[in-house]
Amino acid sequence: MDKDEILEKSRRDNGDVDERFKLMQWRASYVMVTVMLVVWAPLFVWDSLHGQSTDVSFAIVMSGIAAMNFYQYYQFRYKTALGVGILVTLAVLGMIVHHVLATM
């Protein structure tokens, strides 16, 4: 196979999606899940020790959104992604502080 045949096969297999973009999306998802677990674990332990509900899914989802935006900024230097990441991070930190103070 020559270069043109390889490119044509890749386009057929992947549609119009760029390989680099697919890889970035996969990595962003991995980063998102990791950050979500890092936020979830201490809140779950805190709630369990204090007899509170362990429903902190909103903070978890928001932390994942922040992580995805920071990763997009890191990869592509999208300033919008950086701004969204910062705002969502501040919201998550506010939720965590509110949650901890409410359970003290």
Q: What is the pLDDT of residue 87?
A: 98
Domain residue ranges of the chain, discontinuous segments joined by +: 17-103
Q: What percent of the chain has pLDDT over 90?
A: 23
What are 16-48's pLDDT values in tens digits?
667 788 788 888 888 988 898 898 889 888 888
Cβ-based neighbours of 3, under 8 Å, separated by 6 or more: none
Which residue, chain included where needed, has tokens 């992604």?
81
Phi-psi region of 77 (alpha: psi -120 to 50; beta: other; left: phi over 0): left
Please check the confidence at residue 67 and state whether its pLDDT lies above 90: yes
Give the model's pLDDT for residue 49: 92
Q: In whole angstroms, give the CA distance from residue 6 to residue 3.
A: 5
